[in-house]
Amino acid sequence: MTPNRVSAARVVAAFAAVALFSFGADALAADLAAVLLTVAAIALDGLDGYLARSRGLATPLGAQIDILGDRVVENLFFTFFAVTGLISLWVPVLFFARGTVTDFLRGLAARSGRSGFDHNSMLDTWWGRTLVASRASRVAYAVLKCVCFCCLGMLLPLRHLPLAQLNTCLLSAGQALTGVTAIFCLVRAIPVIWEGRRYFAAAEKAPRAVATGAAR
């Protein structure tokens, strides 16, 4: 089992979870299975990184695939829950926009040979590494997303039952977790944008340098 295969497996698990949440909205058993798949999709995010480090399989391409898997999983779940009306449409829009900007800057950094979360990361400042690349930050973000997705997913079958008070509590908890997750997502984007500006500036200067050389 390679890290890239694990990344692919968690994307498959996420799609399967959303399919069960969607098609099994009236079946508690299907929803429980979807919750288990959701936990698996988030947990596998840590496994691919562990395999890459422990087996010496870490590569710049693998780092990009890991990030791509993160984007697919979180955008899939947030878009689904927005379509079901459990959260605002602006939540997936925010995650799409944030992911597009940070991944664009990471792409520019990768062209300079800086990628991943280790010593070759695009982040040089201690606060940037702490907010984005530290194990505590990554685990906290993964746990937030997992609990948020599971809480919202469990609402789908329960909202058809006469449990108004429980449904209200779960909905409030799910939306609160979604808000906290979105804020944490934005905070983790700050170091990438701040430190990524130099790669953007370098990319702007490169064509000018080529043009000047050609003119000579």
pLDDT of residue 74 exceeding 80: yes
DSSP 166-188: HHHHHHHHHHHHHHHHHHHHHHH
- Assigned domain for 87 exists: yes
Specify the DSSP element, H or E, that contains 115.
none
The terminus-to-terminus CA distance of the chain in angstroms comes to: 53
The SS3 call for residue 1 is coil
- Assigned domain for 191 exists: yes
- Has this prediction a pTM greater than 0.75? yes
The SS3 call for residue 77 is helix
- Assigned domain for 216 exists: no
Predicted pLDDT of residue 182:
94
The SS3 call for residue 162 is coil
- Tally of domains in the chain: 1
- Assigned domain for 159 exists: yes
Predicted pLDDT of residue 116:
66
Give the Cα separation of 216 and 211 in Å (integer). Answer: 9
Q: pLDDT of 19-54, one tens digit each?
A: 988 876 567 778 788 888 988 888 887 787 777 777
Q: 57 is written with which tokens?
A: 């399989």
Q: Which domain holds residue 31?
A: 3-205
- Assigned domain for 212 exists: no
- Assigned domain for 211 exists: no
Predicted pLDDT of residue 210:
47
Residue 135's CATH number: 1.20.120
Residues 6+ apart with CB under 8 A from 60: 110, 113, 115, 116
Q: pLDDT of 101-112, one tens digit each?
A: 999 998 888 887
- Assigned domain for 126 exists: yes
Give the Cα separation of 109 and 104 in Å (integer). Answer: 9
- Assigned domain for 37 exists: yes
Q: Give the pLDDT band (50/70/90) at residue 179.
A: very high
